[in-house]
Homo-oligomer: A and B are copies of this chain.
């Protein structure tokens, strides 16, 4: 009997060419489809909620698939994690991908189409360069004015046409209106990190990285907070700030 199963997945994206399957490169989707096809002994297609780019991480990516799974669903995450562990070299090596949970869903459920929204976290640090964190946090050399960034964030929160924050060269879409439910700039006193928490009903291509780059440019005084209103109205990618690098970005949560 075919089941419809939702996986919640964490991954370190630094060794992957993104989520989406590619013929000759390691990707998260490719790794998990191969593993599932082997476990289930038939081809499996995973529908991920977000096609994260190369280097982008996930604390809670979601993906669903349909298959005649004989393994009890409550054991599936453990079995998958044990198999992932066996892919790594050495007796102690851990996998960059970890299945956090697996659950059965109604027949018509789809991980992407049924998602009501997502939350991303972006990590910045203005302290010295730390070689151990180079794949996990965006190092900004200048100090940042967090109050200016917070004022700018107020213009972004809400429902707007966000074309200015969409990667240029993206497919022309019918609709670039999205709702940003919340955009917070938090300080972690222990790591010294600045975290940008953003949740919304959906995000255009590179939108979180361009919002982050724009807020960083506000924080270092290259863009004034109040100009955000005009930038958004202009619908012009060229007026917004730079695109922050992928490795500071974490897909934190998917809402259903």
Contact = CB atoms under 8 A, between A and B. Distances in A.
Interface in A186-214: 190
18 contacts: A11-B131, A12-B131, A12-B132, A12-B134, A57-B132, A90-B245, A92-B138, A92-B139, A92-B245, A92-B247, A93-B134, A93-B245, A94-B129, A94-B131, A94-B134, A95-B131, A96-B131, A97-B131
Q: A interface, how many residues as a size bin?
A: 20 to 34
Given A93-B245, A95-B131, A98-B129, 10 more contacts: A12-B132, A12-B134, A57-B132, A90-B245, A93-B134, A94-B134, A95-B134, A96-B134, A98-B131, A190-B190
Q: Which 9 residue pairs across A and B have the least CB separation, nearest first?
A: A94-B134, A92-B245, A12-B131, A98-B131, A12-B132, A10-B131, A190-B190, A96-B131, A11-B131
A136 interface: yes
A61 to B, nearest CB: 11
Contacts of A190: 190
Contacts of A91: 245
A18 to B, nearest CB: 14
Interface residue SS majority, chain A: loop
A92 B138 CA distance: 8
A94 B57 contact: no
A59 to B, nearest CB: 9
Nearest to A191: B190
Interface in A136-186: 136, 138-139
A96 B130 CA distance: 9
B129 A136 contact: no
Nearest to A58: B131
A134 B95 CA distance: 8
A12 B135 CA distance: 11
A247 B86 CA distance: 18
A229 B90 CA distance: 30
Interface string A83-112: 000000011111111100000000000000
